[in-house]
Amino acid sequence: MIPFSIIIPSYNEEKTVGTTLENLKKFLASNNLEAEIIVVNDASTDNSAEILKGIEGIKIITHSSNRGYGASLKNGAKNAKNEWLMFYDADGQHNTDSVMRMLNETSTADMVVGERTGYKGPAIRQPGKRILRFVAEYLVEQKIPDINSGLRLVKKEYFNHFAHLLPNGFSLSTTTTMAFMNSGLNVVYIPIQIKERMGGKSTVKQTKHGAQTMLLMFRIIMLFNPLKIFFPISVATAMLTFGFLLADIITFDISGTTIILFITTIFVFCFGLLADQISSIRREIRTNE
């Protein structure tokens, strides 16, 4: 089995991080798995730091200020020694038996993601997640079984290639999925079961992080396929132009609104083509670096 690095971001998880690590270490030992465990303590204000100091066989990275979930994963990835990276939450929700099933997919996948079945997290978050997934599926033109699962196994080479595009907050999971899919990399989903948090409180704010994620999704698409945004807008303005033009023909008077809509349609479409060309050139330059 391939050696891999497990990156665990932790912020104020004193009630769960110790148990999570002990369960993980026991599983790795019983299955003879070679894994580097990196815990990124994101400036926790509780007793997490003391708990982590008492656990042997782990590498601890400590942030002097709270930088966010995504920043913790990126910092962990930068300091990992192995080719494959597993992102694993500190809140006790993941089952260790998912680790082996994810590792079995590395021969064909560039990223393996746990598709949550059964319990998927607090019910209040599910409508927002469905909206995000609907928009993301349109933008990447692929089905996305689970848009922001925290349990995933990625090739370090590809993750670090996209790291400068990825956010420092919880949106990293979503934008990583979209970046991989838009680049034609093979993303494999496997079903997993998660548990309710063993303790502590989630720091995800539904409205705030949902809006940020939506903006970041559009930013990713602007980098990879901007016509997915510009072309529908130009089609919509073209249809409005046609509708106003028909009304103007009936009244034998071309209105200023029709002219403005026509010019807007041309400008939006041309901006889309220009953005698409810039995006293609940028990707080519990054590939050749």
- In 3D space, the residue among 107, 114, 204, 111 whose CA is nearest the CA of residue 160 turns out to be 111
CATH number of 4-222: 3.90.550.10
184: left (phi over 0), alpha (psi -120 to 50) or beta: left
Read off the pTM.
Answer: 0.77
Kindly list the domain boundaries of the chain, sorted by start residue. Answer: 4-222, 227-288
pLDDT digits over 13-57, tens only?
999 999 999 999 999 999 999 999 999 999 999 999 999 999 999
pLDDT digits over 179-197, tens only?
899 888 999 999 999 887 6
Q: Is the pLDDT of residue 206 over 50?
A: no
Provide the H-helix boundaries in 96-149.
97-103, 126-140
Instruction: Give the mean pLDDT of the chain.
Output: 87
pLDDT band, very low/low/confident/very high, at 283 (cuts 50, 70, 90): low
What is the C-alpha to C-alpha distance for residues 75 and 242, in angstroms, rounded to an integer?
52
Per the CB < 8 A criterion, the answer to whether 48 and 12 are in contact is yes
pLDDT digits over 111-169, tens only?
999 999 876 555 665 676 677 778 788 878 889 999 889 999 999 999 999 898 888 88
For 8-22, b/e burial (b = at least 16 CB within 10 A) is: bbbbbbbbbbbebbe
The tokens for 128 are 């927002």
